[in-house]
Amino acid sequence: MIKKTLDEKAFQLLKEKMEQGLFPQWVLTDPDIYELEIDKIFGHTWQFLAHETELKDSGSYVTRWMVNDPVLLVKNRKGEIKGYLNSCTHRGTQLCTADHGNKKNFTCPYHGWSYNLDGELIGIVAGNKVYGEEMDKSEWGLREIPQVASYQGMIFGCLDPVAMPLEEYLGDMKWYFDILLGRSDGGMEVRGLPQRWVAKANWKATAENFAADPYHVQTTHRSTVELGISPEDPLYAGYGHQIVTENGHGINVITSKTGKARVPYQGTPESMWPMFKKNLTPEQDEILSGVTVFVGGVYPNLSFVSPIHGTEGHLHNYLNFRMWRPIGPEKVEVWCWFLIDKAAPEEYKEAAYRGYLGSFGPTGTLEQDDTETWARIVEVSKGLMMRDKELNYNNVSNYLMGFDRVEPDQSFPGPGIAYPTTYLDAISRSMHENWFKLISKDLFVKEAVK
């Protein structure tokens, strides 16, 4: 039994279990593990903040969170996107309290200090009278988020100034982002505001559910079969490929029994297909023309899904990005974006948005199904007997699916390690291995003897 402590012996035991493909269930809700994760995972990896279309003009801003760090993301006069810690340098209160908007300057609601779009302190109420001449305003600007970068319009931040650059971190996932986000002229745009709500869940379980687990679809979302939206075939979400890329990222390219989609190009208007072909490589085009659903994740806490929705003659496709912000070992704040091709016809965008609200939005049927399961995982993972109960991802239960049995498909046209089914645990294993690598980094390193 692994003791619920974080001493060196416990970590050795955890390591042995992980090497056997076993993932102890207690780590899903343990408060000490959670603290380690905040520091060692979220303090060093890239986290999604916003899409560039949320910051259209100079002065546009949104406020976001990187776990517990409040972020003010602003477009400055030069058109650069800057990220600041959303906390006043005077007495520390939250500087900008709105979710989004447009401003020339940010004035603190507490004592009125104001900052420009470059984070510089430009105004102090009664400055000369209160502080005299000695106050050097240039020393009291806003703290910058150490790294902010974007790829295909997706803006990410990183709290570690020496972490690898975003593009290196995304690695082969960029090739798939080029399909999801770069297929149309003008790229994608966010429609509406990101919706957010709190779910009883652990972030590892929600991230895995999206990025790595098409196997749950046939059971958890059984109602879609009963409504005639999904096929009766119990393997229907398993056809296609599961692709593992670097750093715990992965994507599932779900097709159908025939290896092709029900409809070409995910039910998008035919008028858009030549544009897709023009913007993609032949290999990317081959994948997009035949896919039914893309679903995957960027480690640690960004997931995405690009499905086909609707009924014959009224099909549409959209892209949903969701960020799982941990707010405790048993809670996540879900941030959910709807993205659509900027170049799509207006009525198509509107129909797709309504489809999203009814499926993966906060009131969507698919969302409700998943939320209930996540809450129950949290609920049952805290008991004494859980301390020696492991979840399997070697080769005896569903977590071992495909282990040593399914070989990578060398003929798959995209990068990464591609397995010829999505009912397996290749991405789950990669995520959990990455989790352990990150949380155990620099732990129990003996001090050099002086």
- The residues of the shown chain that bind ligand FES, judged by CB under 6 A, are 88, 90-91, 93, 108, 110-113
Task: Specify the amino acid at residue 222.
Answer: R
Q: What is the dihedral of CA 334, 320, 38, 198, to 10 degrees?
A: 0
Nearer to ligand FES, 107 or 152 (CB): 107
> Binding partner of residue 191 among Fe ion, ligand FES, none, CB under 5 to 8 Å per kind?
none
In which element (H, E) is residue 336 found?
strand 331-341
Nearer to ligand FES, 121 or 295 (CB): 121
| DSSP class of 281 | -
Shortest gap between Cβ of 260 and ligand FES (angstroms)? Answer: 59
Q: Quote the Cα angle for 251-193-351, to 5°.
A: 75
Three-state DSSP at 39 gives helix
Shortest gap between Cβ of 220 and Fe ion (angstroms)? Answer: 5
Nearest alpha carbon to residue 208 among 163, 252, 152: 252
Three-state DSSP at 330 gives coil
Contacts with Fe ion by CB under 5 A: the residue count is 1
> Binding partner of residue 111 among ligand FES, Fe ion, none, CB under 5 to 8 Å per kind?
ligand FES
Using N-to-C axis directions, what is the helix angle for 365-380 and 346-359, rounded to 10°?
30
**Out of 370, 374, 377, 439, which residue is the one contacting Fe ion (CB under 5 A)?**
370
Q: Which residue has the tokens 């009924």?
A: 311
> Binding partner of residue 90 among ligand FES, Fe ion, none, CB under 5 to 8 Å per kind?
ligand FES
Nearest alpha carbon to residue 360 among 369, 372, 351: 369
Nearer to ligand FES, 89 or 152 (CB): 89
Shortest gap between Cβ of 415 and ligand FES (angstroms)? Answer: 48
Specify whether the CB–CB gap between 423 and 238 falls below 8 A. Answer: yes
> Binding partner of residue 88 among Fe ion, ligand FES, none, CB under 5 to 8 Å per kind?
ligand FES
Nearer to ligand FES, 131 or 444 (CB): 131
Strands (E), 29-138: 46-51, 60-66, 69-75, 81-85, 100-102, 105-107, 114-116, 121-123
Q: Which residue has the tokens 């750093």?
A: 247
Specify whether the CB–CB gap between 158 and 147 falls below 8 A. Answer: yes
Shortest gap between Cβ of 60 and ligand FES (angstroms)? Answer: 22
> Binding partner of residue 131 among ligand FES, Fe ion, none, CB under 5 to 8 Å per kind?
none
| DSSP class of 82 | E
Nearer to ligand FES, 12 or 93 (CB): 93
> Binding partner of residue 67 among Fe ion, ligand FES, none, CB under 5 to 8 Å per kind?
none
Nearest alpha carbon to residue 300 among 19, 13, 42: 42
> Binding partner of residue 370 among Fe ion, ligand FES, none, CB under 5 to 8 Å per kind?
Fe ion
Shortest gap between Cβ of 107 and ligand FES (angstroms)? Answer: 8
> Binding partner of residue 113 among Fe ion, ligand FES, none, CB under 5 to 8 Å per kind?
ligand FES
* Pairwise CA distance, residues 203 & 25, whole Å: 14
165 phi and psi, to 5 degrees? -60, 155
Shortest gap between Cβ of 354 and Fe ion (angstroms)? Answer: 20
In which element (H, E) is residue 71 found?
strand 69-75
Nearer to Fe ion, 30 or 370 (CB): 370
In which element (H, E) is residue 154 found?
strand 154-158
> Binding partner of residue 260 among Fe ion, ligand FES, none, CB under 5 to 8 Å per kind?
none
Q: Binding segment for Fe ion among 169-177, 186-194, 234-242, 369-377 (CB under 5 A)? A: 369-377
Nearer to Fe ion, 208 or 370 (CB): 370
Shortest gap between Cβ of 28 and ligand FES (angstroms)? Answer: 38
Q: Is 367 among the residues that bind Fe ion (CB under 5 A)?
A: no
Classify strands 105-107 and 114-116 as parallel, antiparallel or unpaired.
Answer: antiparallel
The residue whose Cβ lies closest to Fe ion is: 370
Shortest gap between Cβ of 221 and Fe ion (angstroms)? Answer: 6
> Using CB under 5 A as the criterion, which residues of the chain lie in contact with Fe ion when the complex forms?
370
